[in-house]
Structure 1
């Protein structure tokens, strides 16, 4: 299964991600990636731009001019205690639950913040691929806040609670820190995942679409922390490794854990929800025991009888049938029922 990046952080994680969602989409096609998940911190704000760019590329592909890529809508959920995971909805219902959970967390917090807890995940997490991040994981490779989760026992408890509540949905993310300790860290995490009974999945957790954005990322960190760039010290990026990676690069980085790289593609296949599934749903105007189509057809028949008390001509009846069929195809029955209720 081809590798798919499941947790790309964009500039919609304010003053942290250094690349636009659209840039990730284009870069992913250059790396021959079939899909890409955009996952910002407690937000889905950047997904629409990524989706729009992916659709543009899709239209170009239909006209014989370029590659096609699928956007996977996601969010990198960070709980109040520092626990992190990426949530990838499998279907429209799960997308709705993810959005409601994020809205709930934002309503209970000051503007610009989102306060979520494990109980929220246990309530709203059905139908999502839950990619749990290691407890030491930061948003970028820089030693800058927010601090990672420090309590190992609490972190393990959260993972076990999610795995018990959502069997088959939880995976443990293996992500490189590029500090010379990655292979030992991968072995420890793989052993832990086996003990808990969940699979491992590889991710680069990129916050740059290209390594050339490293200086911009440091500038954003300096603005966020309120210090000059030349005084960032260890809070600056140590390198430009936090970029979007190709499958070949990921297989090299995860040598000995190649199955985790391929599982990313399997997770992407299950996370099949697309923003194309969304459409405006008019409020229901159904009567008890009667669908909107049945009610509209009944009212139209009554109106036809009122207009032609001696019997409707065949031409008028055919026109009404045609219009009802068109309204049904567009699912506009509730609109006409609302108008009827207002003017009747």
Structure 2
């Protein structure tokens, strides 16, 4: 039995994650893991670097994000009600899912930012296609509701997530760290699983690669919170277990939960995002009705030819040169590119 880490933070989880992308990938490779996810806090800055590093190491990259869910609407900014937000793990199952992750990441920063880059239920529902979702860590909506004893509300939340993602794209996430209430929350999730015929997935809330990195990551948290290492009341991780655990360690922790390990492999198999840079990806350039990019570019060049060469515009030498250059441009697929540059120069 192998295992895939699906809840992983890198150095791109600023002042929180310590892991260098290359070191994460190499460690997963050395543990014989077939794939690895990257799910940084509220951002996807590291997606391309991670994708390329995983491809070089010949393990499968899974692109994700741990987004923040607003307590109310993503545009609400009341200091009493909206300061707190909840964590939610999202993974791109396909290219459409990756596009939706980009939209979620951008909107959370540009439209929903209040202490954290946030989205809300409505925005998530509109951009849920191609995404796999879990209940998240202890700071997720459902775990927080269970921790507060709001069982009816937890079921309402689960009903909503199931209605958006369905049982094949929504998983009950289980973690194991030295947090007193975490084992209780895991058991409550397991108990609720029967009501939904839920699938479970085991994760480790990875913030660094090796156990000995815990001290350095703790210093990062001090910088983030403006605290001293000696401060006994500051925010800190509960224990040095937030590293890239081996398959054997995860088996010891979750081997008794049906599907918790094997589902990480099935999710990895389902997640197929292609970020290879093949060919050219140019913006669409709207041309006047009746034209194609090729014919519109030619019409502009014909007009420019008359302006520049006047009575000499139709000489064989000039005409031959224009036809040659336009043919090369078209064969290379650069018609739209030249129109875009022309438009920019005209605007400038």
TM-score, normalising length from structure 2?
A: 0.75
Residue 89 of structure 2 corresponds to residue 86 of structure 1:
yes
- Aligned residue number for residue 63 of structure 1: none
Give the 3 Å change call, closer, same or farther, for CA 116–319 of structure 1 in structure 2: closer
- Aligned residue number for residue 118 of structure 1: 121
Unaligned runs of 5+ in 2: 72-84, 305-311
**Any idea what SS the aligned residue of 1:6 has?**
coil
- Aligned residue number for residue 7 of structure 1: 7
Residue 255 of structure 1 and its aligned partner are, at CA, apart by 1.9
Query: Mean Cα displacement is larger for which, 315-324 or 122-131?
Result: 315-324
Within the candidate set 103, 106, 113, 2:106 is matched to: 103
TM-score, normalising length from structure 1?
A: 0.76
Distance 2:94 2:291 in 1: 28
- Aligned residue number for residue 308 of structure 2: none
- Aligned residue number for residue 142 of structure 1: none
- Aligned residue number for residue 37 of structure 2: 37
Distance 2:230 2:111 in 1: 37
* Contact 1:297/1:324, CA 8 A, preserved across alignment: no
- Aligned residue number for residue 208 of structure 1: 208
Residue 285 of structure 2 corresponds to residue 284 of structure 1:
yes
- Aligned residue number for residue 26 of structure 1: 26
Residue 245 of structure 1 and its aligned partner are, at CA, apart by 1.8
Query: Mean Cα displacement is larger for which, 246-255 or 34-43?
Result: 246-255
Give the 3 Å change call, closer, same or farther, for CA 85–193 of structure 1 in structure 2: farther
* Contact 1:10/1:18, CA 8 A, preserved across alignment: yes
Distance 2:110 2:324 in 1: 52
- RMSD, aligned CA: 3.8
- Aligned residue number for residue 251 of structure 1: 251
- Aligned residue number for residue 325 of structure 1: 331
**Any idea what SS the aligned residue of 2:106 has?**
helix
Give the 3 Å change call, closer, same or farther, for CA 155–180 of structure 1 in structure 2: closer
| Aligned residue pairs, count | 320
Give the 3 Å change call, closer, same or farther, for CA 110–241 of structure 1 in structure 2: closer
Distance 1:338 1:180 in 2: 59
Give the 3 Å change call, closer, same or farther, for CA 31–338 of structure 1 in structure 2: same
Counterparts of 1:231-310 in structure 2, within 5 Å, are: 231-232=231-232, 235-257=235-257, 259-276=259-276, 280-288=281-289, 291-292=292-293
- Aligned residue number for residue 157 of structure 2: 158
Deviations 1:170-189 (A, max 9, x none): 11111112458876654432
Residue 325 of structure 1 and its aligned partner are, at CA, apart by 3.0
Unaligned runs of 5+ in 1: 59-66, 139-146
Give the 3 Å change call, closer, same or farther, for CA 53–296 of structure 1 in structure 2: same
Higher relative contact order (CA 8 A, sep 6+): 1
Distance 1:14 1:247 in 2: 27
Distance 1:289 1:252 in 2: 67
**Any idea what SS the aligned residue of 1:8 has?**
coil
